[in-house]
Amino acid sequence: MKKIVALLCALLVMGGSAQALEVSAPSALLMEKETGAVLFAKDEHAKLEPASVTKVMTLLLTMEAIDSGALHYDDVITASAHACSMGGSQIWLKENEQMTVSDMLKAVCVVSANDCAVALAEAVSGSEEAFVEKMNQRAAELGMEDTHFCNATGLPAEGHVTSAYDIALMSRELIRSHPDIRQYTTIWMDSLRDGASSLVNTNRLIRFYEGATGLKTGSTDSALYCLSGTAERDGMELIAVIMKAPTSTQRFNDATSLLNYGFSTYTLKTVVPESALPPIPVSLGTQATVQPVLGEDTHLLLEKSKAGGLQQTVSLPESLEAPVTAGSQIGTLTVTAGEEVVAELPILAGEEIPRVTFGQMLSRMLRTAFLCS
């Protein structure tokens, strides 16, 4: 059923006016966070160098380590010689300099610090090489089929490639599962080392785009200018990915165009049954009824022109026979806009109802006979 809902969203999206939207970058994609629906795509599977947008995966694995308890924001990391040897964007860590995980996350998110990215990678996996193995493993788990990582930073390396689509996948996982990353990605200006090191975000959307929430810039001579830009308005968060833009200004202009298109054209609705779902009688069960509940995937991405007149139809059986498995589909909530079916959402059994045993049935019969005598 999840696949059906996703397909409906995709058909809805592709039926819109996305094809009228143009961006100058050779590869780009716009995705909605909750549903994963693609609202715009341009050569989205082209395998290109991502530069420092690579660090979305570095951040994802670091946040997963924090959420698992393997790492903590206030843990102190000692910078290794390897971490301090990174070129490109950095905060000039000195070997054996100590800094908290939180400050290193800030440095990675705000100024794309390569030295801190590697220090975090070493803290998570023991070495950058082991971390890169984990990066590629996680990419495979997320379905990032266009991706191969060679390092934790995005510094140029032969074979280090990904695609706009894959960047959207890992960006979505980061912002959906680890919303705390916003405490770093939304910083415009800050400092480290008790104010001695000033930070200004490389992502100018944070300063100039309403609702911007992140996420990561990247640029090298060969990758040109890349961006995974996220923004939220009216409860809907979008991910705009730009790859190989010719200039920094153009990547932000393209991302702004994508985000503006998404916010002006689509809205995200959460479906709630218009009336309480009634209990369903269960025959031969250990209890007389089961309570239906709506499944977890209740977000609908809709064109704004269709979002105002939605109607619901609930289809439930008159009765069920035990056993009933918790979470099994027992009905459907159909959402329509006029004559068009927008989505069919599963209604599930809210609890398990085992079938009565012979002994339980006999006990019921004897109890009923005794009460009637």
Residues annotated in a binding site for substrate: 216
Name, in order, each residue with C-beta under 8 angstroms of 26's C-beta and a sequence gap of 6 or more.
42, 43, 46, 243, 244
52 catalytically annotated: yes
Structure tokens at 66: 């924090």
The CA distance from 225 to 229, in Å, is: 12
Q: What is the CA radius of gyration of the chain?
A: 26
> Given the structure tokens 């341009």, which residue do they identify?
42
> Given the structure tokens 């810039």, which residue do they identify?
217
Catalytic member of 27, 80, 112, 219: 112
198 catalytically annotated: no
306 catalytically annotated: no
Residue 59, class by beta-carbon neighbours within 10 Å (0-12 exposed, 13-18 middle, 19+ buried)?
Answer: buried
For residue 212, what are the β-bridge partners?
231
The CA distance from 68 to 100, in Å, is: 18
Q: Which among 246, 219, 227, 200 has a CA at the least distance from the CA of 155? A: 219
DSSP conformational letter for 265: H
DSSP, residue by residue, 287-352: SSEE-EEE-S--EEEEEGGGSTTEEEEEE--S-EES-B-TT-EEEEEEEEETTEEEEEEEEEESS-
Q: Which among 63, 91, 65 has a CA at the least distance from the CA of 79? A: 91
Sheet holding 329-337, edge to edge: 292-294, 340-349, 329-337, 310-315
Structure tokens at 163: 């695609």
List the binding residues. 216
Neighbours of 76 (CB within 10 A): 12
Catalytic member of 27, 52, 125, 219: 52
β strands within the chain, DSSP E? 27-32, 38-42, 76-78, 98-100, 189-192, 197-200, 212-220, 224-233, 236-245, 266-270, 280-283, 289-290, 292-294, 299-303, 310-315, 320-321, 329-337, 340-349
Catalytic member of 27, 33, 42, 55: 55
Q: Which among 227, 301, 217 has a CA at the least distance from the CA of 262? A: 301
Which residues are designated catalytic? 52, 55, 112
